[in-house]
Each structure stands twice: as C-alpha cells, then as structure tokens.
Amino acid sequence: MEIMDAEGRRMKGRVGDMVYYSWGGKTYARRVRIPGKRPKWETEGMAEGMVESANRLRVTQKFYSQLREKVSADIWRLAGKAAGKRAHNLFFSLNYGCFGGDWRLTRPEGLRLTEGALLLPPGLAAEPAEEGTWRVTWEADREWASAAAADRMRVAVVYALRRLVVRPAAEAEGTRGALAGTFRPGDIPAEGAHAYVYFEREDGGAFSPSWHVALRP
C-alpha cells in the first residue's frame, strides 16, 4: 500500500522517528532511534512473541548466508533482480515462516530453497537406489525458453543437526532430457534430512524453484 501525505503525495524524508523512502517504485517506512530515547522493549524487555520473531529472523539470516556461500550466490540474486527486490528480502518473504527460532526447520516441504524462471518438470519422484544414492525421475515436457533438454539437475541437502546445515549433494548428475538423475546425500542422521531438487540452465544463467524430498536413513 502506498504511503501518502495529506495532499496525496508520496511521503519522503523524516517525520518524527519515522523515515519514508522509495524502493522499486514503492514507498516504505522504517523507524529510527531518537538520540536519548530508548525503545520500549529495551526498558521493559521483549515480549515472548518478539523474542521468537527475533530468533526466527536470526536463524533465517544465518541459513541464507550458508545457502549463498555453500550452494550458490547467483540463484537468489537472479530471482531478486527479476522480482525487483533485494535477494535476501525475497528469500525472507518466501521462507521466513519455514524456520523456528530454535534452529528447527518447521515447514521443510514449504521451503523455497531456490527460485527462478526455469520450469520444474512434471511427475517428479525420488527413491533410494543402490550404494547410498538416490534416483530422481520425471516426465517429459516440451522445450520452451523456460525449459530445455540440456538443463542440469542440481540437489542441495539440509541437515537438521544442532544447527541447520545446507550443502550441495555429492555427485548430482542428470539433465532434463534424460528424464532421470542421481545424487548422494551423504550420511543421513537418525532424524532424517531434506533434499531439494532444482534445475540450472546449461550456461548457469537461470534456475528453477526447488522440489522437496524427505530423506530417511
């Protein structure tokens, strides 16, 4: 919703302890600290809901940093550019509700580990195969600008240890046109892990959303 003044103009600048600014053609507001004035939560303590929200935000930020470092810094950069948003803001808006403040992945099936313009193929399925590998299959689809036979299957695995850990799966192989691929998730802890299958364009310039697979030892 646009933030306007009494004369119907977009708000801009500072009014009291609020600063109004524009980003991506929209107007936003944020609160700034007034020198000498302490916020209520500092003097009276944070409510339980505020503590949980702050912890969840911290976990989401740490996880996103891992994802950029260990898997790819390009996926959310490209997705954010296409959406007209900063990469981390887009990730948070889609995934904040999937994390708990106690380092749990509360909605693994809803986590959008990746995002992008490529289509996921229909009929995705996964099952354990021989010697610690998993096999992923899917159905054929037509080639479009957003789906090509040469698109490469990629997999990232999230382990729920003392803290959430995300890593690329070892030996992930397969192309869209082959209708199948394999990957090695490594040692799966007793509580299980979560694999996220996605596709990358051959030149590395586009990605697909992710598809979730629950892994059991």
What H or E segment, with its residue span, contains residue 93?
A: helix 87-95
**CATH assignment of the domain containing 109:** 2.60.40.10
Q: Mind giving me the DSSP string for 20-83?
A: EEEETTEEEEEE-PPTT---HHHHH---HHHHHHHHHHHHHHHHHHHIIIII-SHHHHHHHHHH
Q: Are 156 and 71 in contact (CB under 8 A)?
A: yes
One domain, residues 128 and 89 = yes
pLDDT of residue 3: 47
One domain, residues 98 and 124 = yes
Residue 206: helix, strand or coil by DSSP?
Answer: coil
One domain, residues 67 and 27 = no
pLDDT band at 32 (very low <50, low <70, confident <90, very high): low
pLDDT of residue 2: 44
Q: Are 209 and 199 in contact (CB under 8 A)?
A: no
Please state the φ and ψ torsions of residue 125, each to the nearest 5 degrees: -150, 155
**Residue 162 is part of which domain span?**
48-215
Averaged pLDDT of the chain: 85
Digit-coded pLDDT (tens) for 145-170 = 899 999 999 999 999 877 899 999 99
Cβ contacts of residue 202 below 8 Å, gap of 6+?
148, 150, 151, 152
Separation CA 30–CA 13 (nearest Å): 11
The stretch 62-91 carries a mean pLDDT of: 96
59 within a domain of the structure (yes/no): yes
The stretch 50-76 carries a mean pLDDT of: 91
Could you tell me if residue 141 is left (phi over 0), alpha (psi between -120 and 50 degrees) or otherwise beta?
beta
pLDDT of residue 8: 53
One domain, residues 70 and 38 = no
Q: How many domains does the chain have?
A: 2
Higher-pLDDT residue of 37, 94: 94
Specify the DSSP class assigned to residue 122. Answer: S
What's CA 98's distance to the chain center, in Å? 10
Q: Is the pLDDT of residue 25 over 70?
A: no
Residue 134: helix, strand or coil by DSSP?
Answer: strand
pLDDT of residue 72: 97
Separation CA 184–CA 191 (nearest Å): 18
Q: Is the pLDDT of residue 79 over 70?
A: yes
Task: Calculate the CA dihedral of residues 81, 85, 90, 92 and round it to 10 degrees.
Answer: 140
One domain, residues 28 and 97 = no
In the chain, pLDDT over 90 holds for what percent of residues? Answer: 62
pLDDT of residue 1: 41
Task: Calculate the CA dihedral of residues 210, 212, 216, 217 and round it to 10 degrees.
Answer: 0
Q: Is the pLDDT of residue 5 over 60?
A: no
One domain, residues 36 and 61 = no
Please state whether the predicted TM-score (pTM) of the whole model is above 0.85. Answer: no
One domain, residues 62 and 26 = no
Higher-pLDDT residue of 23, 109: 109
